[in-house]
């Protein structure tokens, strides 16, 4: 099912700035056990992204209604993607004023990841570095070419995710995930002030870490910090938490350790 501005539709005007320039934001929301998970947090980040991009979007109540309509048609766990573009405009980067935003809601099959990924996955380093862009850092804007380029670097099904660094060689995130390191009983995650996406589950893990007295630290992390970590895990709204147990080139092993397991267990029990 696809809704465009509340109507059942599967096409967009070619003049839409989301298509022309990636001028917009999106959210990937899990519909699981007949419920949209972390909906409030997703809508808040969507609105923050629109504000950062100066997209005049104030129809969150209408968006809630449209999401509810979509959910009434679902019988299985699904992925719902919400896109807000600036709307249609002429050629050229300067946006017309006023410009009416476009709302797109699409439903996708829930991914059938092996259950073994919950016990550990294998990752690699990506050669493509993320550009430093503080204005866009944190939000989920439509310009995902960096992630497309990074993800194109491997085809092997033996590798489940690629880790990215910025142009200053700071560890940032996975192609589709946020990353956490555990060292000496403390939790670390990269600062996303320069680039990267501030994930919904990342923020939930940080809140849990405070309650579990894991002394969570957000800061600059290097490749060496990663290699010397005791545990490593990745997060996003779909997978929740995947432990990382192996890195290829340089070959490195980590345990599916007690803190990662505690985070997995606690996150499973969190009310959405």
Active site residues: 28, 140, 173
Vertex 80, ends 75 and 81: CA angle to 5°?
160
DSSP state of 138: B
What are the residues facing 168 on neighbouring strands?
A: none
CA atoms within 13 Å, Cβ hemisphere of 1:
19
Distance between CA atoms of residues 49 and 44, nearest Å: 9
Distance between CA atoms of residues 198 and 141, nearest Å: 11
DSSP state of 194: S
Vertex 265, ends 260 and 267: CA angle to 5°?
95
Measure CA of the first residue to CA of the last residue in the chain; give whole Å: 24
Residues 6+ apart with CB under 8 A from 35: 272
Are the C-beta atoms of 101 and 87 separated by less than 8 Å?
yes
Are the C-beta atoms of 30 and 36 separated by less than 8 Å?
yes
Distance between CA atoms of residues 95 and 68, nearest Å: 31
What are the residues facing 181 on neighbouring strands?
A: 188, 232
DSSP state of 88: B
């Amino acid at each position: 099912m696809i809704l465009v501005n509340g109507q059942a539709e599967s096409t967009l005007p070619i003049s839409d700035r989301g298509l022309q320039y990636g001028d917009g934001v999106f959210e990937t929301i899990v519909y699981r056990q007949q419920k949209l998970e972390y909906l409030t947090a997703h809508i808040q980040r969507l609105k923050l992204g629109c504000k950062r991009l100066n997209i005049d979007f104030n129809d969150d109540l209408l968006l809630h209604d449209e999401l509810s309509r979509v959910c009434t048609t679902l019988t299985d766990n699904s992925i719902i993607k919400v896109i807000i573009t600036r709307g249609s405009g002429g050629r050229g980067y300067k946006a017309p004023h006023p410009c009416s935003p476009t709302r797109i809601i699409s439903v996708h099959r829930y991914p059938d990841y092996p259950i073994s990924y919950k016990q550990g996955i294998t990752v690699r380093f990506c050669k493509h570095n993320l550009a430093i862009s503080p204005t866009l850092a944190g939000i989920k804007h439509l310009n995902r070419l960096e992630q497309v380029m990074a993800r194109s670097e491997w085809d092997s099904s033996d590798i489940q995710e690629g880790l990215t660094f910025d142009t200053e060689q700071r560890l940032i995130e996975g192609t589709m995930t946020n990353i956490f390191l555990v060292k000496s009983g403390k939790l670390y995650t990269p600062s996303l002030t320069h680039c990267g996406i501030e994930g919904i589950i990342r923020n939930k893990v940080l809140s849990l870490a405070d309650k579990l007295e894991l002394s969570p630290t957000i800061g600059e992390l290097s490749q060496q910090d990663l290699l010397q970590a005791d545990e490593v895990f990745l997060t996003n709204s779909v997978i929740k938490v995947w432990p990382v147990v192996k890195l290829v080139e340089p070959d490195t092993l980590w345990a599916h350790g007690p803190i990662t397991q505690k985070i997995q267990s606690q996150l499973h029990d969190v009310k959405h």
